[in-house]
Amino acid sequence: MKLRIKYIFTELKNMSCFVYLFSTICMILFALDFMLYRHGNHPLESIPGFYAFYGFIGCVLLVIIAKWLRAVLMRPENYYHKTESKIKVPYNNSEAENVDL
Amino acid sequence: MLIFELPPFAPFLIIAFIVLFTRGRVSSALMLMAPIWGAFNLWQINPQTVWQITLFELQLNPFRIDKLSLIFGYIFHLAAFFSIIYALHVRDRVQQISCLIYTAAALGAVFVGDLLSLFICWEFMALSSVFLIWSRRSQKSFFSGLRYIVYQFISGLLLLIGTLLYWHKNGSIEFSHIEFQGLGATLIFIAFGIKCAFPMLHTWLTDAYPEATPSGTVFLSALTTKVAVYALARSFAGSELLIYIGAIMTCFPIFYAVIENDLRRVLAYSLINQVGFMVVGIGIGTELALNGAVSHAFNDVLFKGLLFMSMGAVMHMTGRINGSDLGALYKTMPKTTVLCLIGAASISAFPLFNGFVSKSMVMTSVLNQEYYGIWLALLFASAGVFHHAGIKIPYFAFFGKDSGLRAEDPPLNMLIAMLIPAALCLAIGIYPNILYQFLPYSHDYSPYDQSHVLAQTQLLFFAALAFVWLNIKGIYPAELHSTNLDFDWFYRRLLPSLWSTLINKIFFVDRFVRQVVLNRLRLILLIIKRFHRPNGIFSNAQTISNMTLSIVIILACYLALSFI
């Protein structure tokens, strides 16, 4: 029993349940826009679903543009390291690379 | 009870000096005492205290306290407290001493009243903090530390030159509002801008912070940029330029954060993004905006510290920090996962978490001042920050694909250290007045109204929906081992290659000139040799009669000339 609770996020069935639940919450939030009164300082704010659309479209654009940027900006991991590794440093504790001393 | 008042940095310096001569548990206990003693001392200090020293004809003001500096003083003590708990297991003298001096210098910087004293603290901060990077003792961290210290020294030098020019022009070096005109003020502005990670001056931060030790990064993230934010709020509040700089700072790092693999570097980019919100608030300059900027700085120390600590814990336990190597750690690190999620919700400004109560002040003041373009940019950045810091960090470290790593939760001291800011994130989010009572300007702002809460929740949930949708469609970029080019390419790649090309050219010209000169010399030598070789004209043995004949000819010529 304990194991099943522990690994709740890995099972595919649970994941699709989670996605459905999440989408339902989003739809409810969207619907609330029509039910609750909302004051705003800006004309855009009074459009129903403005924040929802802005958040969604903004993030999709963010990821797509970032993917394009990768084509321009991405280099191998040791891109800078090649030249730097020729120079000797005072101490180089490569075993301590990832741990506190 | 202490009868005399100490300047706020003094307890840290005194303890740093004592720690030098102790070891083991004693020095840990002493280090823990430093922020407690410091906070007690700060609480006792009379708020009107001003110290003045006259050096030659200069009025120096090494200690001045008011509401703006006081709130930064409080948060630095708090940050030092949980960071020291986080680093309790570290038995590295260099890190212990440098983190204490670093905190002392940062505290010094927020309580000084003149620019020259600020410069001294500024340099001490740079000098002491670089050891937190070098303490990682790896090749990469060594070079990152070097680049970091060069940037910090450039900032310090600009501050010094700017101060001198400003003094020359205005006859005062008081650290208060500075009119943004003239070279002196501009240099001071750029000096603050470097520490504040303005766009294109930001690469020291994303370069060095991920290379520091796990506990060192927590100190670094809490202090340097916040001192710069304080300095800007003190000197350049209301400069319109800051609004645009801040808006760029909120927007461009999120693109980098989406494609970055090193999770601590993702956090470094999101640190710039958060500082951008503060810079916009300072640029707006109204009381509400400044309160927003200051409270956001306060909250950022808490949630960014928490996130850096949780990633530090992952790194400490697994030895890995790249998103591509991690995943599904929630199975064995449940406590860290929950604490990280609290930090992620706070930085994304979910209602009931502390990011919400401070970021909304900045957003509202931007709308009130009718900067609509900036408002849309900040809204986009708010959704973006949730995307990379709120979802990406926990998702790739603790959920997502199973990496096969089965690391335990970190040691107790690290968990307690993370628990403190996590509890405060929630407490401030639920009762914002805990924070609002310390703010420098009076206001009556309430973040929790229906339309605002609904708007923010919709924005964030649909940003999350976008992540889910992109992930299911397989559009979301996978984490890849890579280096992403940033502005540092100019000085790490372009300048060195230009320099080596230049040096090659100089060598080439130099060799050519030498070759030509040597060839000429060789030719001359050849000619001389020809005359001097055996049977050459100059090497024949001359008889005395020949000599006499030559002298007679010369004398005859001389005689002939005398008749002319």
ipTM score of the complex? 0.84
B299, HSE (Cβ side, Cα atoms, 13 Å): 37
Please report which confidence band the pLDDT of residue B428 belongs to, taking 50, 70 and 90 as the band edges: very high
Question: In this model, does residue A47 exceed pLDDT 90?
Answer: no
Q: Residue A85: what are its φ and ψ, rounded to 5°?
A: -70, -10
User: Mutate which of B86, B89, B137, B491 to test chain A, going by most A C-beta atoms within 10 A?
Assistant: B137
Task: Output the average pLDDT for chain B.
Answer: 92
- pLDDT score at B248: 96
Provide the pLDDT for residue B4: 66
Q: Do A52 and B459 touch (CB under 8 A)?
A: yes
The pLDDT assigned to B50 comes to 73
CB A56 within 8 A of CB A78: no
pLDDT at B49 over 90: no
Among candidate residues B373, B154, B383, the one with its CA nearest the CA of residue B246: B373
Query: In chain B, which residue's Cα lies nearest the Cα of A97?
Result: B138
Question: How many percent of chain B have pLDDT more than 90?
Answer: 76
Question: Does B325 score more than 60 pLDDT?
Answer: yes
Between positions 246 and 285 of B, the ones with CB within 8 A of A are 254-256, 258-259
Q: Are B337 and B254 in contact (CB under 8 A)?
A: no
- Delimit the domains of chain B by residue range: 1-236, 256-487, 493-563
What Rg do the C-alpha atoms of chain B give, in angstroms?
A: 33
Q: If residue B495 lies in a helix (H) or strand (E), which one and from where to where?
A: helix B495-532
Check B90 against A100: CB less than 8 A apart: yes
CB contact (8 A) between residue A10 and residue B402: yes
Vertex B179: Cα angle to B176 and B182 (nearest 5): 125
Whether pLDDT at B24 is above 70? yes
Query: In the predicted model, what is the mean pLDDT of residues A2-14?
Result: 59
Average pLDDT over residues B329-345: 94
Give the closest of B142, B213, B455 to A51, CB-based: B455
**Alpha-carbon gap, residue B131 to B112, rounded angstroms:** 24
Kindly report the nearest CA distance between residue A82 and chain B, in angstroms: 11
Between CA A26 and CA A11 the distance in angstroms is 23
Chain B residues with CB inside 8 Å of A57's CB?
466
Whether A95 has its CB under 8 Å from any CB of chain B: the answer is no
Contact of B35 with B80, CB cutoff 8 Å? yes
**Interface touch A70/B484, C-beta < 8 Å:** yes
**B338-364, pLDDT tens digit by residue?**
999 999 999 999 999 999 999 999 999
**Could you tell me how many CB contacts below 8 A there are between chain A and chain B?**
196
**Contact assignment for B451 to A37 by CB distance below 8 Å:** yes
Task: Write down the pLDDT at residue B477.
Answer: 86
pLDDT in tens, B189-201: 999 999 999 999 9
Scan residues 386-415 of B and list those with Cβ closer than 8 Å to A: 387, 399, 402
Q: What's the pLDDT at B476?
A: 87
A42–B459 C-beta distance less than 8 A: no
Which of 33-72 (B) contact A at CB < 8 A? none
- Strands A74-75 and B58-64 come out as unpaired
pLDDT of amino acid A7: 64
> What is d(CA B98, CA B195) in angstroms, rounded to the nearest whole number?
19
Q: Say what the pLDDT of residue A93 is.
A: 57
Distance CA B175, CA B163 (A): 10
pLDDT at B57 over 80: no
Q: How confident is the model at residue A5 (pLDDT cuts 50, 70, 90)?
A: low
Contacts for B88-91 with beta carbons within 8 Å, 24 or more apart? B88/B28, B88/B31, B88/B32, B88/B413, B89/A100, B89/B411, B89/B413, B89/B414, B90/A100, B90/A101, B90/B213, B90/B215, B91/A101, B91/B24
CB–CB of B330/B405 below 8 Å?
no
Structure tokens at B562: 């005398």
Domain ranges of chain A: 1-36, 49-76
Contact B133, B141 (CB under 8 A): yes
Q: Please check whether residue A3 touches B, CB under 8 A.
A: no
pLDDT band at A11 (very low <50, low <70, confident <90, very high): low
Structure tokens, B413: 């001291």
pLDDT of residue A100: 39
- What was the pLDDT predicted at B6? 85
pLDDT value of position B443: 80
Q: CA-CA distance, B246 to B292, in Å (whole number)?
A: 14
Contact B468 A19 (CB under 8 A): yes
CA B100-B104-B109 angle, to 5 degrees, is 150
CA distance B185 to B153: 18
- Inter-chain CB proximity A96 and B138 less than 8 Å: yes
pLDDT digits (tens, 9 = 90+) for B259-274: 999 999 999 999 999 9
> Rounded to whole angstroms, how far apart are CA atoms B269 and B347?
13
* pLDDT attached to residue A6: 54
Tokens of B119: 């410069």
Nearest CA among B94, B79, B68 for reference residue B39: B79
Chain A contact for B519, CB < 8 A?
no
DSSP A75: E
- Whether the predicted pLDDT of A10 surpasses 90: no
**A60 touching B (Cβ < 8 Å):** yes
Q: Test B484 with A74 for CB contact under 8 angstroms.
A: yes
Model confidence at A46: pLDDT above 90: no
Taking CB atoms and an 8 Å cutoff, what residues of chain B touch A47? none
Spatial contact of A62 and B254, defined as CB atoms under 8 Å apart: yes
Closest chain B residue to A70, measured at CA: B259
Lowest mean pLDDT among A41-55, B30-44, B231-245: A41-55
How does pLDDT run across B243-254, given as a tens digit for each residue? 999 999 999 999
Does pLDDT of B437 surpass 80? yes
A70/B contact by beta carbon, under 8 A: yes
A20 and chain B in contact, CB less than 8 A? no
User: Which residue in A74, A44, A39 sits closest to B453, CA to CA?
Assistant: A39
Instruction: Check B258 against A62: CB less than 8 A apart.
Output: yes
Beta strand extents in B407-498 (DSSP E only)? 483-484
Q: Is some CB atom of chain A closer than 8 A to the CB atom of B455?
A: yes
Structure confidence at residue B366 as a pLDDT band (50, 70, 90): very high
pLDDT for the residue B458:
92
Nearest to B489 by CA among A23, A99, A55, A72: A72
Cβ-based burial of A55 (10 A; exposed 0-12, middle 13-18, buried ≥19): buried
- pLDDT tops 60 at residue A98: no
Phi-psi region at B319: left, alpha or beta (left = phi > 0; alpha = psi -120 to 50): left
Question: pLDDT, tens digit, for every residue of B153-198?
Answer: 999 999 999 999 999 999 888 999 998 888 999 999 999 999 999 9
pLDDT at position B533? 81
Between chains, do A59 and B466 touch, taking CB under 8 Å as contact?
yes
Residue A9, pLDDT score: 65
